[in-house]
Structures are given as structure tokens and as C-alpha cells.
């Protein structure tokens, strides 16, 4: 995909702001130098009215994109190809719409970023749908990344993730991370900063995305 195609994709499909496009371009063969150079291409492509302004973007979209930019940049730095990016990705027949879906090398990930706590039934139903979909014959392996900035809510969802997979102790489906840690100095793809839904040797299992 050429750079102009990537700009079109970032504006129209990912609904990124100019600072986010600049950061996203760090994953490309020919990144932009600064925001002015991004604006020049946006104007040349007649996208000025389509590009999201920072003030227009919801906090949910802002943090969803921020988290994934960190993951994609870490993946790019470590040589893992990033493909198949979809925003608000629906799974046919599963009644699930994830914030993002993408592939890092050969692995498929769905991403759920939650800034306000869902109800107990809301999370229970959503996680159960992922389990049901994963167990369908012919479904290719995938993992679900869950990130939150509220540690208490994250711990609650972790408990739900264990509950919905308790009948499938070998299934490593959910990977959870506290957003401030994830956005810090850690490498999100190669360091074991994610907590899975599994218990191994009596302790919560930790994992990296690409380990």
C-alpha cells in the first residue's frame, strides 16, 4: 500500500486525527516528518473536510487508537508485519463488534477498550460470545485484547474472563492490560505485560503478544 493510500485509509476508515496519522506513519516505509507534511498530503488529496479534528474525536476513539498505535509501533520496531486493520470490526454470525481487529504477523487480535464500566451482564455476554465464536468449527485462532484505565474495572473483567473460560482451561483467549502500564516504557509485543484468562501453577498467567 502506497503512502497516499495509507493516508486515505487512516482518514476515511480509521478516522484518525493529524497527530495520530503522523504517529501511524512511523509504521510505514516512508513516514512523515511532521504534522505540516501530513497536512500537505491531506490537502493534496482533498481530505481536509474528512479528517478528524482533535476536538471532534470521542475519548473512546482517542484512547482506542492511542493504545493500538503503541502496539503497532512496537510490532513494527520488532519486525512483525501489521495487516488487516479494521476499526469497529464485526464478526459475522457472532453478534460481536470489536473496537479493532488486525493481524500481527500470523496472529489475529481483536481489541476492546473500555473507559466506562459495562454492566455485569454486558461484559459477561460479550466475553461469552467470543468464547462461543472461538469454539465454532473452522474458526481460526484469535485473541482478544482488553485494555482499561480503571484498575478496579479491569480486575472485575479479569474475573469474568476466567469465569466464561473455566470449562476450557487450555483456552488462552483473553489478554488484559492496565492502560497506564501498556502506554509506558514496556514493549507491548515482546514483554509479558498481559494477563491471560488462565491460571498456571496456581498463579495468573502472563504473556506477550508474540511470545
| Residues 177-208: tens digit of each pLDDT | 999 999 998 999 999 999 999 999 989 999 99
DSSP secondary structure letter of residue 17: B
Q: What does the pLDDT look like over 64-113, one tens digit per residue?
A: 999 999 999 999 999 999 999 999 999 888 889 999 999 999 999 999 99
Q: What does the pLDDT look like over 19-62, one tens digit per residue?
A: 999 999 999 999 999 999 999 999 999 999 999 999 999 999 99
Does an H or E element contain 86, and which? strand 82-91
Q: Report whether 10 contacts 38 (CB < 8 A).
A: no
Does an H or E element contain 66, and which? helix 59-77
Cα 126–130–133 angle (5° rounding)? 135
Full-model pTM = 0.94
CATH 2.30.30 for the 58-207 domain, yes or no = no
Cell numbers placing 109: 487480535
- Distances in whole angstroms, Cα of residue 38 to Cα of each of 6, 19, 63, 69, 186: 11, 9, 21, 17, 28
Amino acid at each position: 500500500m502506497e503512502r497516499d493510500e495509507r493516508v486515505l485509509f487512516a482518514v476515511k476508515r480509521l478516522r484518525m486525527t493529524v497527530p495520530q496519522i503522523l504517529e501511524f506513519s512511523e509504521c510505514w516505509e516512508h513516514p512523515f516528518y511532521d504534522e505540516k507534511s501530513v497536512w500537505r498530503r491531506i490537502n493534496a488529496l482533498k481530505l481536509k473536510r474528512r479528517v478528524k479534528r482533535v476536538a471532534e474525536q470521542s475519548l473512546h476513539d482517542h484512547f482506542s487508537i492511542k493504545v493500538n498505535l503503541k502496539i503497532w509501533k512496537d510490532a513494527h520496531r520488532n519486525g512483525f508485519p501489521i495487516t488487516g486493520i479494521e476499526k469497529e470490526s464485526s464478526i459475522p454470525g457472532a453478534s460481536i463488534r470489536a473496537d479493532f481487529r488486525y493481524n500481527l504477523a500470523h496472529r489475529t487480535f481483536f481489541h476492546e477498550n473500555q473507559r466506562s464500566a459495562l454492566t455485569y451482564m454486558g461484559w459477561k455476554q460479550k466475553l461469552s460470545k467470543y468464547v462461543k465464536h472461538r469454539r465454532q468449527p473452522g474458526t481460526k485462532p484469535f485473541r482478544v485484547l482488553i485494555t482499561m484505565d480503571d484498575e478496579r474495572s479491569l480486575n472485575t473483567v479479569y474475573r469474568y474472563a476466567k469465569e466464561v473460560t473455566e470449562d476450557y482451561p487450555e483456552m488462552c483467549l483473553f489478554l488484559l492490560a492496565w492502560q497506564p502500564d501498556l502506554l509506558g516504557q514496556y514493549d507491548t509485543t515482546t514483554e509479558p505485560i498481559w494477563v491471560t484468562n488462565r491460571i498456571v501453577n496456581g498463579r495468573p498467567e502472563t504473556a506477550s503478544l508474540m511470545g
